[in-house]
Structure 1
């Protein structure tokens, strides 16, 4: 929700790159031997583009993603199959659908399935000329070699579930593709390096909810590092598991409870390094103000105003409507509004507006929203109150 305009220092980026580069090329790749031509080609591509993959801005990573999808579609197919197969027209495989609908009982049915095999192969082959799917190609070969109705129907079911549901069997994938999670292993990054990610950005409040504090916690014996969300989830985009601008410091609730491994490209969401709600009014302050004015408790629900598709998708993903209507959170929001009413009604005679904002509301206009609890709400409220009382 909140844009994070801070960037990593060149010194830290160099340190981070050197550590993950050694980890991948001196350890992970050396531990894994694969002599297939496809893997050797991918390893060369990785070596030539590793600096970009690890240190580039998020928009540049999207360019890399397009390139990787074009060169190695098997990666997208294995790790994000629902997106890979999305939009496939099942009407193009009518023979496969018919085979699946036929019961495996009676000679007439069994013969009908076998008779439809040739049409099924032709139809799915035409579909796969466009898809270039490793899995579909594998199942076409399996279907070609099937000579009885049971095997033919089984192959057709596999093809259907692959195209319709994105259900795949990772064991059918090339070994080097299955090893990607291990080669680009986020879990292998030393904890002290990940702690420095948070220290470099030094956020005070979660850029997603703008409510929970973030940051590393130090006690006498150890440092507990803050959560780092993979904006492009590593389960679906393993090649970006180590990319520094794919790591978003956030609170545990936003990371583990709401975001999890949701694909933020389908539909598109706002990456805080690129885009935030800062340039939009997102809170419906007028509705809240009217509810307070007429003491309508039922109308005092916090609402959001539709603004930008990407930002709106973040609001939905991180359940901000429910979060800002929690009893305690809403109580704090209504208290802040009440303070503004009190200032304009009586306190402005005894203190300046700037003193009121800093001392009473805990809002310093020189700070960014992620440095202030409910910073974005306070920003929208401040703008509304100034217009009303101008």
Structure 2
């Protein structure tokens, strides 16, 4: 929701590159390559040169998807093992198959036609990429012509394409050792113990950028040290080669990271180092105090932005988290103060003075949403009541 100005000091970048890349990652990666067959070595080395690995770890946020394409379109066994939804992205299967009726004979014929077409597409993909998992899936799908069983199979395939399917340990064991051990090369836990706090200190966020609500301030006082989650925008479970990439690490609230986002691939979502909500009015305020001034009379809704940002707002439950009692209580007090002020000669004077806005109406329009909880809502609320166009600070 909130755009972050992402940067690290030159000193930090030099130390990070030397410690994480030069001393650990490159030697480990090159040692792994020597353990695989020559033909596989050639394919890995064609992509993962030392220069590419350095750039992979230090690239900007707008290059991340390009890195995913480069790696997964070249080393298909990695995408099949770690991100099946990317591997299957070109298979034509509409999610409506889940609700497809199968009672009538014509419907049963229709779902069998879909079934046969999908099997043919899977077989082509399997042959082209020498798939490990798909032959098992295809054999299972070919084993039935019963409409109800076909529907179950297509629903399972849809879950794979949607990113909700996890390979079983038995399936994982079929992949070469280098594929299964690939994620261990990019050891996030080891890195975060050394650099985690320094990363969150450097980015200097006090509020979760996904919801602009949850407190994530880093505490550095000795004995009370704490830092927020470092979310992998593209999750390391699906894109292990981005586990150490600085532009893929975002300080975030536990609720947004662990409850809402989890391991979603984030294709079609806005990266907060690239973009975020702007001066567009996001929040609407609906209330009627005819039956008393209380928070139950207040409803806060959000406008669609008609962009990929709407996916973020939905995923991180921004409307729900801005209908919390503490937010509604703040708006209730703001509305009360504003109405009292509107009956005096001080209204325009207050609205024209930033210090008065802060002390009287509790809206600091000079504060960044990276430092102030639900700051976008506060600015929108002030504009809603006053009819003015105050802008949110960077």
- TM bracket (short chain): 0.7 to 0.9
RMSD: 3.7
Report Cα offsets for 1:339-366 as digits up to 9, x if no partner.
3333333372685632222224443333
Report Cα offsets for 1:154-213 as digits up to 9, x if no partner.
9x99x9798554354211222222112101121120424111111111112111121222
The answer to whether the 8 Å contact 2:216/2:227 transfers is no
Q: Any stretches of 5+ residues in structure 2 without a counterpart?
A: 95-115
Q: Summarize the alignment of residues 239-278 of structure 1 with structure 2, pairs less than 5 Å apart.
A: 239-265=241-267, 268-278=268-278
Distance 1:174 1:160 in 2: 28
Q: 4-13 vs 341-350, which deviates more?
A: 341-350
**Which residue matches 2:56?**
53
CA gap 1:90/1:322 in 2 versus in 1, 3 angstroms:
closer
Report Cα offsets for 1:54-81 as digits up to 9, x if no partner.
1111111111212112211222221121
1:303 is aligned, of 292, 301, 304, to: 301
TM-score by length of 1: 0.77
**Which residue matches 1:63?**
66
TM-score by length of 2: 0.76
Q: Summarize the alignment of residues 41-190 of structure 1 with structure 2, pairs less than 5 Å apart.
A: 41-43=43-45, 45-46=47-48, 47-86=50-89, 88-89=91-92, 123=120, 126-128=123-125, 132=129, 134-135=131-132, 139=136, 153=143, 163-166=157-160, 168=167, 169-190=171-192
CA gap 1:171/1:321 in 2 versus in 1, 3 angstroms:
same
SS of 2:251 mapped into structure 1: strand
Shift of residue 31, structure 1, vs aligned partner: 6.8
Are residues 1:34 and 2:35 paired?
A: yes
The answer to whether the 8 Å contact 2:126/2:135 transfers is no
Q: Give the count of matched residue pairs.
A: 349
CA gap 1:220/1:31 in 2 versus in 1, 3 angstroms:
same
Shift of residue 123, structure 1, vs aligned partner: 4.4
Name the one with the larger helix percent: 1
The answer to whether the 8 Å contact 2:232/2:250 transfers is yes
SS of 1:301 mapped into structure 2: strand
**Which residue matches 2:232?**
230
